[in-house]
Structures are given as structure tokens and as C-alpha cells.
Amino acid sequence: MTDTIAPLMRRDVPRLTAAMPIRDAAAMLVDHGFAAAPVVDDSGALVGVLTQKDCFGPALNASYYRQWSGTVADRMSRDPVTLDAATDPVTAAQAFLDHPHRSFPVMRNGALMGLLRRSDLLAHLLRLG
């Protein structure tokens, strides 16, 4: 069993910006197969999270009016719940029980390292026993 979630997190996560058009961000989530992605500022600091669910309002609006509008900043969650890279898998599993999120940004010393997906942690726990 791994002692921390660091080896379980995804590092190949699309990183979105607040100014990005919401349609482009939604396409990135779908194309990369992620339910959520971190939103970073120009320095790479985490400023929020955008989920596929956040994109449904603009998508429905676009299906009716035939035009996408808005930016990631309009829909993202600010002050996201994060996990530290040194978090153990059991504590991370409890975080998934305590929050409705499908993924958490993973931080180390204040820097964004990647994303822990609920499905990746569950797969790890299944391999254990």
C-alpha cells in the first residue's frame, strides 16, 4: 500500500484559466476525460475548480440560443477543497465521503501538483484487498 496519494494523483491534468471561454474549457474536460480541472492564475497558483457539471448551464443555453457565452470565471468554484500530496489514502477516501467532489486538487507546499480522482483512489483500494 502506498503511504501517500502522491503516486495515485494525475499529473497530466488540463489546467484552465479564469479568462478562458467556457466552451473551450468544457471541450478540454471532455477531450481529456476529466470530470473537473483546476483553474490557475498567471503564476500557476490554484484559484478555483471547474467541473463538467458547471458547464451544463452554458451548454443548455447554447443548445437553445446556438451560442456559447461566458468564461470559466463565471462558473468555477472558488476556494476549492484540496488535499496535500502527503495525505494517506484512507484520509483521502474519507474526504471523498465527506464531500460530493469527484476529484481534489493535490497540493505540495502551496503549489498545485495534480488531481486525485475518486475513481483512481477507489481502484487503488480495490487492488489492496
Instruction: Read off the pLDDT of residues 12-49 as tens digits, 9 standing for 90 and up.
Output: 999 999 999 999 999 999 999 999 999 999 999 999 99
SS3 (DSSP) at 11: coil
Entry pTM: 0.92
Q: Cα separation of 10 and 51, whole Å?
A: 16
How many other CB atoms are found less than 10 A from the CB of residue 28?
Answer: 17
- 3-state SS assignment for residue 56: helix
Q: Cα–Cα distance between 94 and 110 in angstroms, integer?
A: 22
Burial of 43 (0-12, 13-18, 19+ CB in 10 A): exposed
Amino acid type, 54: D
